[in-house]
């Protein structure tokens, strides 16, 4: 049972938010189907055309205010697991939406940043923001304009919280990967670190990810169904 595991690390990707109405990246209708990564998700893309990048993230940020976009049963099951499990449960997400927070998860690290935060390229100040931003946006700290950017980790930039994540992976006895295609490192390599630390590793995904063969266990299905079932089956 899951209670026999004392240090659980969970990794989530876009697939856990798909049933909440948030697009994934690499599906046929995914975000990278009609946007070029190098234009909207790299520092060079931002330097070349900040207005295009602001439009891309402003649209995704505003979607979080859509009342139809709510945490689904998978998010809620992970919030319950953290509350009810006797051991440590660390949730590492590649997602930049706020659905895990809204589902009650607190021990949570956004390794690719967060849509509802922005930061100033001039002074480095970061703060919460749900409004559209652009070249006109004035920094609340240094007062300059032209420097505000989404608090998102772009391709070529360092993911956040890697020291904490690596420490947790080296000490975990259960690693669960949910809703990620296993295409982007370092997240796609977490399963190997966990395995090498002796952890049991489980993939919960609509279909096998690129690194599926590295997991001890792979369960395929819709997150809103297989995640609550997994938590329910193992929690008690």
Region from 1-9, 23-31, 78-86, 163-171 binding ligand APR, contact rule CB under 6 A = 23-31
* Among 2, 11, 13, 177, interactor with ligand APR by CB under 6 A: 13
Interface with ligand APR, residue 35, by CB under 6 A:
no
Interface with ligand APR, residue 45, by CB under 6 A:
no
Number of chain residues interacting with ligand APR (CB under 6 A): 23
Q: How far is the CB of 50 from ligand APR (least distance, A)?
A: 19
Q: Terminal CA-to-CA distance of the chain, rounded, Å?
A: 7
**Chain CA centroid to CA 102, Å:** 14
How far apart CA 162 and CA 92 sit, in angstroms, is 10
Nearest to ligand APR by Cβ — which residue? 15
216 is a catalytic site residue: no
Site for ligand APR in 161-200 (CB under 6 A): 179-181, 183-184
Count of CB atoms within 10 A of residue 226's CB? 19
Q: Which is nearer to ligand APR, 14 or 103 (CB)?
A: 14
- Torsions phi, psi of 32, nearest 5? -80, 5
Interface with ligand APR, residue 15, by CB under 6 A:
yes
How far apart CA 174 and CA 235 sit, in angstroms, is 13
Q: How far is the CB of 4 from ligand APR (least distance, A)?
A: 26
Interface with ligand APR, residue 56, by CB under 6 A:
no
Count of CB atoms within 10 A of residue 147's CB? 18
- Residue 194's SS3 state is helix
Residue 24 marked ligand-binding: yes
How far apart CA 160 and CA 156 sit, in angstroms, is 13
Residue 15 marked ligand-binding: yes
**Nearest alpha carbon to residue 93 among 107, 70, 112:** 112
**Nearest alpha carbon to residue 59 among 126, 147, 134, 138:** 134
Largest CA distance in the chain: 54
Residue 13 marked ligand-binding: yes
Residue of 110, 112, 171, 216 with catalytic role: 112
Q: Which is nearer to ligand APR, 7 or 13 (CB)?
A: 13
- Residue ranges that bind ligand APR, judged by CB under 6 A: 13-15, 18-19, 24-27, 30, 94, 112, 179-181, 183-184, 205-207, 209, 222-223
Residues tagged active-site: 112
């Amino acid at each position: 049972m899951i209670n026999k595991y004392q240090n659980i690390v969970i990794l989530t990707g876009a697939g856990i938010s798909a049933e909440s109405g948030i697009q994934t990246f690499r599906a046929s209708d995914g975000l990278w189907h009609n946007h070029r990564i190098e234009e909207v998700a790299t520092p060079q893309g931002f330097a070349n055309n900040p207005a295009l990048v602001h439009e891309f993230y402003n649209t995704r940020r505003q979607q979080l205010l859509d009342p139809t976009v709510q945490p689904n049963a998978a998010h809620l099951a992970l919030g319950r697991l953290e509350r009810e499990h006797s051991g440590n449960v660390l949730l590492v997400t590649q997602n930049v939406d706020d659905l895990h927070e809204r589902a009650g998860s607190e021990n949570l690290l956004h390794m690719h940043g967060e849509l509802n935060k922005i930061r100033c390229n001039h002074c480095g100040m970061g703060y919460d923001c749900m409004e559209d931003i652009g070249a006109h946006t004035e920094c609340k700290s240094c007062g300059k304009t032209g420097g505000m950017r989404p608090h998102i980790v772009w391709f070529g930039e360092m993911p956040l919280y890697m020291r904490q994540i690596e420490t947790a992976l080296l000490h975990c006895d259960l690693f669960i990967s949910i809703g990620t295609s296993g295409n982007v490192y370092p997240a796609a390599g977490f399963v190997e670190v966990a395995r090498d630390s002796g952890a049991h590793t489980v993939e919960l995904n609509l279909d096998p990810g690129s690194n599926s063969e590295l997991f001890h266990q792979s369960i395929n299905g819709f997150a809103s169904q297989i995640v609550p079932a997994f938590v329910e089956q193992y929690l008690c």
